Amino acid sequence: MKRILSLDGGGIRGVFSLEILLRMQEMLRAHSGSPSLVLSDHFDFLAGTSTGAIIATCLSWGMDVEQVLELYVEHGKKMFQRFPWYRPIKRMFVARYEAKPISDMLQRLFSEDGEGKIPALLSTKRLKTLLLVVVRNQTTGSAWPITNNPKAMYNNSSLADCNLNVPLWKW
């Protein structure tokens, strides 16, 4: 039997999802008798969109839910800093949050060296589960699912734009 966990978006409201996940992790630890169990030990496939994609990636990375919650509590205000109301609109599909603070933090977190100098790609062996994130194609506004599943359509390593070469921090 395969287990899939799917997480929705919602910016800083991801804290609510994390509180539920924290309780799930506690229950799974008690049930399995393993106090160090993390959700990537239990689920085979993690999926998410927006803040859910960040959480799913953290969990697939092998992070404990407490660590992810701490990340949101400590850095949430900076991560989800809204653009000022007077910001000029330059394109059709506009992001709600400043990209730089969150991308800087994710670049450090999802790196092979832990310092942000060597970015971890979607093909990294550090991901402990299959991962699917749904992002928005900025040119068309359409949904763009990206996965580390080696059998996925756009994961052929012979393609120049193979999805497996996308850095994890770029969601």
Q: Where are the beta strands (DSSP E) in 70-138?
A: 130-136
Please state, as a whole number, how many other Cβ atoms lie within 10 Å of the Cβ of residue 57: 24
Spatial contact of 143 and 132, defined as CB atoms under 8 Å apart: no
User: pTM of the predicted model, to two decimals?
Assistant: 0.88
Closest CA to 32 of 24, 4, 131: 24
User: 130-136 and 4-7 as β-strands: parallel, antiparallel, unpaired?
Assistant: unpaired
Q: Which tokens in the block code for residue 126?
A: 């550090």
| pLDDT tens, per residue, the chain with 171 residues | 999 999 999 988 999 999 999 999 999 999 999 999 999 999 999 999 999 999 999 999 999 999 999 999 998 888 777 766 666 655 544 556 667 878 888 999 999 998 999 999 999 999 999 999 998 887 888 998 999 999 998 999 898 889 999 999 987
